[in-house]
Amino acid sequence: MPSYDQNNIFAKILRGELPCYKVYEDDKALAFLDIMPRAPGHMLVLPKAPARNILDVGAADLAHVMMVAQKVSKAAVKAFGADGITIQQFNEGAGGQVVFHLHIHVIPRKAGVPMKPPAAEKEKPDVLAEQAKKLAAAIAAG
């Protein structure tokens, strides 16, 4: 497996070199909105530790990221009235991974509404900003 690339786009977001629509942050994880959401409120949860994917992440970092995925899922149900949540996570190109810093997709779902295809459409910045605000408030409220 290739080694971790410090210049991948999510590493740059984690270093603050690129912006994101942040919904949650703690000392070990960051969660922000996917800019090409497959459904409204589509979030990505990342460990802060450098890890390419599930094949090289430390067990404690993986466990923490999943705990955060649960936290933001519950908040999405409250904030978006989601009927369900789809969790996705891709590993290596053959597994569908495009950005090589481990991330968990948390996708709020409405009954009967199919997901858009991956990377179909960039969402408008004001829509993402508003959704991030709503989700961050719901996460902070627990």
9 in contact with ligand AMP (CB under 6 A): yes
Q: Using CB under 6 A, which of the segments 68-76, 77-85, 91-99, 132-140 binds ligand AMP? A: 91-99
24 in contact with ligand AMP (CB under 6 A): no
Amino acid identity, residue 138? A
Buried b (16+ CB within 10 A) or exposed e, 110-128: eeeeeeeeeeeeebeeeeb
In angstroms, the Cα distances linking 66 to 6, 36, 77, 90, 112 are 23, 22, 17, 14, 26
102 in contact with ligand AMP (CB under 6 A): no
In angstroms, the Cα distances linking 37 to 74, 102, 120, 138 are 18, 17, 8, 19
# chain residues binding ligand AMP, by CB under 6 A: 14
Amino acid identity, residue 16? G
Q: Using CB under 6 A, which of the segments 66-74, 90-98, 108-116, 134-142 binds ligand AMP? A: 90-98
Tell me which of 54, 62, 66, 99 binds ligand AMP, using CB under 6 A: 99
Q: Give the residue numbers annotated as catalytic, written as ranges.
A: 103
Question: What is the binding site for ligand AMP (CB under 6 A)?
Answer: 9, 20, 34-36, 44, 90, 96-99, 103, 118-119
